[in-house]
Amino acid sequence: MKIKKVIIIFLLGLITLLHISCSDDYLDVSDPNNLSPDTFWKTEEDGIKAITATYALFQYQVWSGRWGWFEMGYMNLECRSDLINLFDMWSPFGKMSRYDADPTSYVLHDYWSFTYQALYAANQVIENVHNLNTTEEIKNTFLGEAKFLRAYAHYLLFTNFGNIIIKTSTPKSATDYYSKQSSEADVWAIIEQDLIDAKKFLPLSWDSKWLGRATKGAASALLAKAYLWQKKWSEAETELKEIVNSGVYSLEADYASLFNGKNEHSSESIFEINFTMNNDGGRNERNSFPAMQTDWKMSTPNEFMRNLYLQDTTATGTLSQRVTGSVIFKNLATDTLNNTGWKKYSFHDENTNKGYNFSHSGTNFLVIRYADVLLMLAEALNEQGSTGEAVGFVNQVRARAGVLNISNLNQSDLRNHIRHVERPLELAAETGRFYDLVRWYRGEDLKAVLVAHGREAGNNFNNNNDLYYPIPSDELTSNPLIQQNPGY
């Protein structure tokens, strides 16, 4: 389901039109030449267009005339990680990476706005899918996809902003635009229920024409993440073992192929965001991940991460394939991980020291992959005392990397290994690290972890206030019912 630029522009315009028509009552005369909620939801093709438009919003494109996915969908999620150097070359990411986010930041405003647009689009599908002239099976599939995407949007909003507004319906009157923030328990409850519902209707897989659409495995994986946030270890284990036992997924032999655009929708992919690359100067479908990130120091591994990489070696002492597949070397023969940048998604070739394109590419972005599932399962098992079984799943991931098995670890040792060795080595620069830290250490001393890992500006972190970004200030102005997060 590689989404074309023209289609995206048309469909996002459609969502805007539907949004306006729901909130304004001055359109008293129907124009047969224009779309409206009453005329659009008729055919299966309409359903495909609507659900495609909802997926497209998670590409975070047409970003206020500014950049695109890398800035909005990646940097703001990655910049607080303990595994990276500061993003000091570009405001406002410098402030965000220093744990000093500005409520007036256009980045936070746009991320909040785009993700709520995705919620609105998903709710449009959920409310109107029954009007389509197609089979119940197809209607239910659209419904499952929309509920998955609604859960994903709520998940992104909660993990970034904490105190959010649940949106499970489109506004029907002016007062519907003003809602109070929801409790954390209520947010998790709607995420869980949407994903449980989605699993009932989503297929195990799609044929090649529709790759990128949500599957039952994607719903289970996101549900497991929600359970892990709440320390519901047994429930997470159930979902993750369902994925493992489905027989649909496996680890890819070539680690680097997961990120260089040559092996998209592989056996390891559980959910990924599709991008394409045009040569017409368009920017509405591309992944704008730079080919070489060290020049602006926008995303480079820090000393803690480099030391982990240097220790991730095979039985013969060579660096593992997840090191060479993750990091850009200035010189393959002599570089010891100094002045390096991330290789993932960058199209960088060390042999020529050239990237495919400095500013953008068509590489898909992996949101959830099977290696993450195996490590989450190991975590859930270990927290329940099944440490021996958990080690086996960690070793599956290590075997693919080409490194030796671990053994003879107690529960505490394995917990530390998963948190501060295995997940960083396997999943660094994939946007999930800071959120792992929050779910592990909120209510504890996350600042101490940042400082121990040598994170620049780690001493700036406030354990009470910096777990979440501030609510964008213009939202506080437009909605008097919501409150700012503590410390802002």
Residue type, 465: N
On the question of pLDDT at 224 being above 80, the answer is yes
Q: pLDDT tens digits, residue range 160-206? A: 999 999 999 999 998 899 999 999 999 999 999 999 999 999 999 99
Measure the CA–CA gap between 344 and 324, rounded to whole angstroms. Answer: 10
Q: pLDDT tens digits, residue range 121-162? A: 999 999 999 999 999 999 999 999 999 999 999 999 999 999
Measure the CA–CA gap between 240 and 276, rounded to whole angstroms. Answer: 30
Reported confidence tier of residue 334, pLDDT bands at 50, 70, 90: low
pLDDT at 355: 45
pLDDT at 91: 73
Cβ neighbours of residue 472 under 8 Å, at least 6 residues apart?
103, 104, 105, 108, 109, 112, 113
Averaged confidence pLDDT in the chain: 86
CA 188 vs. chain centroid, Å, equals 17
Reported confidence tier of residue 85, pLDDT bands at 50, 70, 90: confident
Q: pLDDT tens digits, residue range 31-69? A: 545 566 778 999 999 999 999 999 999 988 754 445 566
Measure the CA–CA gap between 147 and 265, rounded to whole angstroms. Answer: 22
Does 1.25.40.390 match the CATH number of domain 44-167+179-442?
yes
Q: pLDDT tens digits, residue range 17-38? A: 445 434 333 233 445 455 667 7
Q: pLDDT tens digits, residue range 268-317? A: 999 999 987 654 444 445 444 444 444 455 568 899 998 999 999 999 99
Reported confidence tier of residue 10, pLDDT bands at 50, 70, 90: very low
On the question of pLDDT at 395 being above 90, the answer is yes
Q: Which residue has the tokens 């999943």?
A: 427
